[in-house]
Structure 1
Amino acid sequence: MKKRLYVDFHVLQTVPPSCINRDDTGSPKTAMYGGVLRARVSSQAWKHAMRKDFAENTPLDVGKRTKKAAELVKKQILALDSELDADKLAKKALENTGIKSDDKGTKALFFMSTAQAKALAALAVAGSTDKKEYQKALRAAPSMDMALFGRMVADDPSLKYNAAAQVAHSISTHAVKNEYDYFTAVDDCQTDSTGAGHLGTVEYNSSTLYRYATVNVLELAEQLGAEQAAETVRAFGEAFLFSMPTGRQNSFANRTLPDAVYVTLREDQPVNLCGAFERAVSRGEQGGYAEASKAALAQYAQQVYASFVEAPAQSFTVGGGLEALAPAQTAKAMLDALEKAVRDALSGNEVE
């Protein structure tokens, strides 16, 4: 019986001039690491992009994070009986769960799955007043993204879910320096002036990013069951590889694909390999940072396995340059193999 099982995702991805995640001043987010300034994309930004990808590409139940939780229940009540006062029943159902709400909605964003909204609606339509049943409905049947990213409920901590996944802030493998794009816009209807109708600047940078995420598979299986856990790990991997935050996307058309991917199944603990880039990568002999970053990642991983932890139970790579860690294959083949590996690992496993 396995007591620990983690899937680690390591992605190297080059992004051209862009501002995909900016701070309150409009500047691209950055961080100091290894004594130099790095480009940074927050974990929250990439998780939001992943949840949008889930909604578009996976058949699994994807939840809604909203202050209008009553509206989700109302929709399901109307689906059961369009003649009822759905608005009143939905608000009462939410009240019975112990979640504080008013005409503007809940006081904080609330994460609810479709299955939970349906269960609350069924109780409301049946005329139930048993608050324990309403709370039970909110504890059961989490959506895949609720199990992955967790749910915190200040009004009732018993309704929370521990997140089975962790997503690190992405950082560049090398030092960066932000630049400024000075731009003008012409007023198409102004004919008496040669000046611009608008002047402005946009701050941006470009980088090769190291991206890392990990999934606690046994935690996921405890909440979703083994079969759905395997499907969810695959959906998580696909979204982590192919999604991208959309900040200033129209200005820079910066959507790219990974340069290389390294995925591991570990039976001890998650291992973030960002230490490969604590010393900022220098441009390779042919220029660019991608190839040098691949070499640094492969070398550091082997060093970690030789000195601190055992090598992963299974490893997969996509793209060239990481063959020292595992044979390269296509993204689809890797995701297929990963889903099977997780399913096999969970087969007959009792989650404690």
Structure 2
Amino acid sequence: MTQPTLFVEVHILQSLPPSNINRDDSGTPKQALYGGARRARVSSQAWKRAARMEFAQAEPASDRATRTKRIAALLAERLSLPTDKGGSGLEDAGANRLAAALLEPLGIKKSAKKEEQSAYLLFFGRRQLDSLIALLDGRAEKLLALPDGDLKNEITKLPVVTALSTGHPAEVALFGRMVADLPALNVDAAVQVAHALSTHAVRTEFDYYTAVDDENTDDNSAGMIGTVEFNSSTLYRYAVLGVHQLRENLTSPDSTRQAAVRFVDAFTRSMPTGHQNSFAHRTLPHLVLVTVRTDQPVNLVSAFEEPVAGHSGLVAESCARLAGELASVGRTWGSPPARTLATYAVEGDKAGEAFGPSLPFPALLDSVDGVVGTWLADGRLPLTASTQAGA
């Protein structure tokens, strides 16, 4: 039997001033060719990390996740803490030895360059380190007294893999984890984030700058000369959250509902930080459109396959294009969204017709909370006002 699915999609139109928030290896703002025109692009990885950092700000420090090659060092640091603070009170040498033994069942390869680091980044929750220490059951000193072979045998009896494959923090549940050496640690991501693309053609420009040496009174020469590349754009951003997958990763309906709402908030407010001090580019979206589907996700970037011309600004026409594409996809494929919620500050009949009335953003989040909560509780979507009126 096919399991029911619920997808919460976030479509955003957002204008950026001159900026370079995501650059390639030569320092040029990332770009892509789409619809035969050169577009500004922000990679999915860049915006996914920005959303994760925004999401983490509302998490207690102990509930946060981290992505690092230094899991052994972090575990040893925990083992060195006094027992009344959750550690084992070990000296540094003993803590390092026991941490290495605890992590050996994971089969994580060590870095060829730095012995104390793993060969790749591992994404895990800080509470999961506490779970590893709890497996010792106060026997840290006794285990350290054993020879290496006996210590290894004792550690293999402990459910180390289980400790890291359960009790995931919300960040890991949302963004997933892939461990090539140990598939048992893999977590299917509940979130997919698309590369953000400008709705229009762009061109890269150059900012020539000089820095003055304040103490140089001998001549008028610059202390430093350089250039930085930039562009400005109106971006279409898209992400989709599979609530069913998030529920599987977190198991708790309440945690799933809270994480879903906070993801929509975090993705909306997030911003990659490239050259942030140079350009102060942080803006808020013109349009946040949330569509809820029970069949499959639909990225509406096809609205901008023909680039927006922007004769009198780009936002209004981009919004009209998105409204038209949403309606067209619903008619053509016979699958309009089950729910449409929007926050926008764009005038025009098409926006109101396609997106419904503009909600204050906190009210939009409350509506998402209600939709997700009802679906998690009994597998259905809440009745809308129009549905109730027709009942």
**What TM-score comes out, normalization by structure 2 length?**
0.85
Q: In the alignment, is the contact (CA less than 8 A) between 1:90 and 1:121 conserved in 2? A: no
Is 2:120 the counterpart of 1:108? Answer: yes
CA offset digits 1:229-260 (Å, max 9, x no partner):
11111111111110100100111111000000
**Contact preservation (8 Å) 1:97, 1:138:** no
Q: What's the offset of the Cα at 1:74?
A: 2.7
Which residue in the other structure is 1:314 paired with? 339
The residue type equivalent to 1:89 in the other structure is L
Q: CA offsets per residue over residues 307-334 of structure 1, 9 Å max, x none?
A: 1141111110001343222221011111
Q: Is structure 2 residue 219 aligned with structure 1 residue 193?
A: yes
One-letter amino acid matched to 1:260:
L
Amino acid at match of 2:95: A
For 1:227, the equivalent position in structure 2 comes to 254
Map of 1:203 onto structure 2 = 229
Structure 2 residue 252 is matched with structure 1 residue 246: no
Work out which of the two has the higher radius of gyration on C-alpha atoms and give 1 or 2: 2
CA contact (8 A) 2:87 2:133 kept: no
Task: Tell me how many residue pairs correspond in the alignment.
Answer: 348
Paired AA for residue 74 in structure 1: A
User: For residue 156 of structure 1, what is the aligned residue in structure 2?
Assistant: 182
TM-score by length of 1: 0.94
Match of 1:58 in 2: 59
The CA deviation at 1:265 is 1.1
Please say if 1:83 is aligned against 2:89: yes
Match for residue 96 of structure 1? 105
Q: List per-residue Cα deviations over 1:186-221 (Å, max 9, x = no partner).
A: 111222221111111111000000000001110110
Most deviating of 154-163 and 73-82: 73-82
The residue identity in structure 2 corresponding to 1:255 is R
Of 60, 68, 71, 1:69 maps to 71
Q: 2: CA distance between counterparts of 1:175 and 1:106? A: 42
Q: Tell me, in whole angstroms, the C-alpha distance in 1 between the residues paired with 2:297 and 2:102.
A: 40
Counterpart residue number, 2:386: none
Tell which deviates more after alignment, 323-332 or 250-259.
323-332
Distance change (3 Å), C-alpha of 1:349 and 1:73: farther
Q: Distance in 2 between matches of 1:263 and 1:349?
A: 19
The answer to whether the 8 Å contact 1:152/1:159 transfers is yes
Structure 2 counterpart of 1:47, one-letter code: K
Contact 1:90 1:124 in 2 (8 A): no
Residue type of the alignment partner of 1:296:
R
4+ residue segments displaced more than 6 Å:
none
Give the whole-Å Cα distance in 1 for the aligned partners of 2:235 and 2:323. 15
Task: Say which is worse superposed, 145-154 or 205-214, in terms of deviation.
Answer: 145-154
Q: Distance in 2 between matches of 1:131 and 1:152?
A: 25
- What is the aligned-residue identity percentage? 45
C-alpha distance in 2, partners of 1:281/1:131? 62
Q: Give unmatched runs, 5+ long, in structure 2.
A: 140-153, 381-391
Provide the alpha-carbon RMSD of the alignment: 1.8
**Structure 1 counterpart of 2:96, one-letter code:** D
